[in-house]
Structure 1
Amino acid sequence: MAAVRKALIAAAVAAFAALFGRTFLKLKDISLASREIPVKRLNCQYLKNIDYGAEDITILKDGLAFLSTGLKYPGLHSFSDEPGKMYVLDLLHPKMTPVELQIKGQLDLSSFNPHGISVYEDEADDSIYVFVVNHPEHKSQVEIFRFVEEDTLMHLKTITHPLLHSVNDIVAVGAEHFYATNDHYFHHEALQLLTFMFDLSWCDVVYYSPHEVRVVAGGFKSANGINISPDRQYIYVSDIMDHEIDIFRRNEGEHPIDLVHVDRRTGDIWLGCHPNGLKLLKFDPEDPPGSEVIRIKNIHSERPVVSLEYGDDGRQLIASTVAVPYEGKLLIGSVFHKALLCIL
């Protein structure tokens, strides 16, 4: 009996070692750990006041940009223990300096941890609603604000729901309506590792309205960035583990892609990417993760055109997440570093 028990233990250890080895190799493959980082810099300058990342950026048609900064995300580096902040930047102003937004209303700012953001403009009364994914104490909730002055957000509502359990990004389609991505199925890191080890595609996209909340798309390894086409007919979702963009009609790449921005004028897709995901996870200041910006033209055609618009090895910008063009300019944000204003 003892010999059988030892044999079973040995077999279990060998199986676990084989599974762990396969998982490590898969992680290296998914994170593009051995990939050469292309360098293609633009005429850029750092945005003032942005020192701890600008994980997401969205721009209104009049050139007003909103930035979420100071994200603390489990497993990723952070340069600051301070709560996160929201900034606004007027791209038509000569100085183009981000201004911190004052947040008023019933919201605990001491635990404010902003992630993905989206803006909805109500054409009926020109109201501007700012949606922010918030992770206080590593929970997931969505905050809805109204932009009421040049530098003020009025907090209107906090939304929580069991289906919104690990929200990464959001795209607003009404004053209280949005689509949101869940980037993990489990909260516990050990269980997250198991879903990766067994190649489980359990993440999803959720539609929220005051009247219904439902899963509208599933089968993602890690649903990340989300955005909408200029004609409001299509939803684009990036699966950061599968290195791909999925396209969904609303009536029913080889990069770890973070956030998705759609050029409202041309319909082009702009992607902030991590050229080496393993460097992002282990973060070594002597060998930092680089940044990439990818542009996709004609995404609905049989032959989309993919181009590298910006590439850096981490010497200029660490861990880019989002890229947003506007009138010959390009804003590039990062997880925890800085933000760039570049000339295209």
Structure 2
Amino acid sequence: MTLPITPVSLKCIKPNCNPATASPLVLFCFNRNRLKASREVEFTDVPNCHLIKGIEAGAGDIDILPNGLAFFSVGLKFPGLHSFAPDKPGGILMMDLKEEKPRALELRISRDFNLASFNPHGISIFIDNDDTVYLFVVNHLEFKNTVEIFKFEEEENSLLHLKTIKHELLPSMNDITAVGPAHFYATNDHYFSDPFLKYLETYLNLHWSNVVYYSPNEVKVVAEGFDSANGIHISPDNKYIYVADTLAHEIHVLEKHPNMNLTQLKVLKLDTLVDNLSIDPSSGDIWVGCHPNGQKLFVYDPNNPPFSEVLRIQNILSEKPTVTTVYANNGSVLQGSSVASVYDGKLLIGTLFHRALYCEL
């Protein structure tokens, strides 16, 4: 999740915010409901959890291979978000969930890639017909948006950089779901790339955020009208695309057509700011990393840290999907949860800028 704002004084977040004394760049002066600024959380614990060693400054997104190898996008830095390691570049970590005591290890990346300015965000795995594993990474290189495509070389625990993609229809990428070796859907959390125009877009609640389909032969907008399109994922049967709209507190179900266009089937309303989505391939359940109170996320106070929340959504295509709170914490353990992924009875919870949890369900 990246909703850029500038540091603001707390008086601009209070209910009686006065527009005459507040800067127009204070995006959320009148948007306490969009931020769920009054919401508190009741603790919901998962037994058998521990913090993952080596993740100290965020694991914003997670994707898992069918063989249990989990990939973590770590170290995101973005305007308006706190960072515990502002001078350290980001990276990709891997954990083997089939090990008895799995550890997170940083993957080596080929020398031709610019590691010093690596700023990874959303990630997605694609497995080709020949079993080649491709890792797609949204990269904010000096606040310019690119998609980096890597080939995973398991024997060397390394990533071979294959390609950098940038396009005018991808001005403010957030997350990505791969559907081919150089094909993907990506969310733009804003229409504009210019920071000031992004601020204005959110302040005016323009709903110009969108989803773009990219292939080497065609690039097009396939869904639009979102408040802040964020996490995106494809269903196990490849028939549907799920999109999280953070400030609208919604998950959109979109049908995928042979020409790769999308049409909306339904919208699930929730009472939280939804971030990244993961799918349990065995059940089709959607796991969501959420921010119950966005004000705490964007106005960071170490004495009153942002909450964490994980939802499990079952049977989303049904008339009444089942929504369960699996985990909730007031920041005492985990701050700013952004993703939750499951594999064979194990749960991984990542955050935008804090720690990460490994749990056995």
TM-score range, shorter chain: over 0.9
- Give 5+ residue unaligned stretches, structure 2: 1-17, 262-269
What are the superposed Cα offsets for residues 260-310 of structure 1, whole Å, 9 maximum, x if unpaired?
111111011100000110000011111100100011111000001111000
For residue 102 of structure 1, what is the aligned residue in structure 2? 108
The structure carrying a bigger helix percent of its residues is 1
CA shift for structure 1 position 95: 2.0
Matched, 1:259 2:263: no
For residue 148 of structure 2, what is the aligned residue in structure 1? 143
CA shift for structure 1 position 17: 6.9
The letter of the residue matching 1:113 is N
CA shift for structure 1 position 76: 0.3
Q: 1:113-262 residue pairs with structure 2 within 5 A?
A: 113-122=119-128, 124-150=129-155, 151-251=157-257, 252=261, 253-262=270-279
The letter of the residue matching 1:315 is S
What are the superposed Cα offsets for residues 9-33 of structure 1, whole Å, 9 maximum, x if unpaired?
xxxxx9867997x974542111111
With 202-211 and 182-191 compared, the bigger mean Cα shift is at: 182-191
1: CA distance, partners of 2:89 / 2:29: 36
2: CA distance, partners of 1:242 / 1:194: 17
Matched, 1:34 2:38: yes
Q: 1:38-77 residue pairs with structure 2 within 5 A?
A: 38-43=42-47, 44-77=49-82
Aligned residues: 330
The letter of the residue matching 2:200 is L
For residue 313 of structure 2, what is the aligned residue in structure 1? 296
Q: What is the DSSP-based 3-state SS (H/G/I as helix, E as strand, rest coil) of the residue aligned with 2:149?
A: strand
CA shift for structure 1 position 191: 2.2
2: CA distance, partners of 1:168 / 1:236: 14
TM-score (norm 1): 0.92
2: CA distance, partners of 1:216 / 1:105: 35
What are the superposed Cα offsets for residues 196-253 of structure 1, whole Å, 9 maximum, x if unpaired?
2322010100000000110000001111000000100000000101000011110131
What are the superposed Cα offsets for residues 74-132 of structure 1, whole Å, 9 maximum, x if unpaired?
1100111110010111000122001110000421111000000000011x211100000
Match for 1:307 among 324, 331, 352? Answer: 324
The letter of the residue matching 1:82 is K
Cα separation, partners in 2 of 1:188 and 1:92, compared to 1, 3 Å? same
The letter of the residue matching 1:51 is E
Cα separation, partners in 2 of 1:52 and 1:197, compared to 1, 3 Å? closer
Cα separation, partners in 2 of 1:215 and 1:289, compared to 1, 3 Å? same
For residue 354 of structure 2, what is the aligned residue in structure 1? 337
Q: What is the DSSP-based 3-state SS (H/G/I as helix, E as strand, rest coil) of the residue aligned with 2:248?
A: coil
Larger Rg, first or second structure (1 or 2): 1
The letter of the residue matching 2:81 is L
2: CA distance, partners of 1:197 / 1:99: 40
The letter of the residue matching 1:110 is A
- Give 5+ residue unaligned stretches, structure 1: 1-13
Q: Is the 8 A contact 2:27 2:199 kept in 1?
A: no
What are the superposed Cα offsets for residues 140-184 of structure 1, whole Å, 9 maximum, x if unpaired?
000000001341000000001001111000000000000000011
1: CA distance, partners of 2:19 / 2:298: 26
Q: Is the 8 A contact 1:19 1:197 kept in 2?
A: no
1: CA distance, partners of 2:345 / 2:79: 35
Q: Is the 8 A contact 2:169 2:212 kept in 1?
A: yes
Cα separation, partners in 2 of 1:314 and 1:191, compared to 1, 3 Å? same
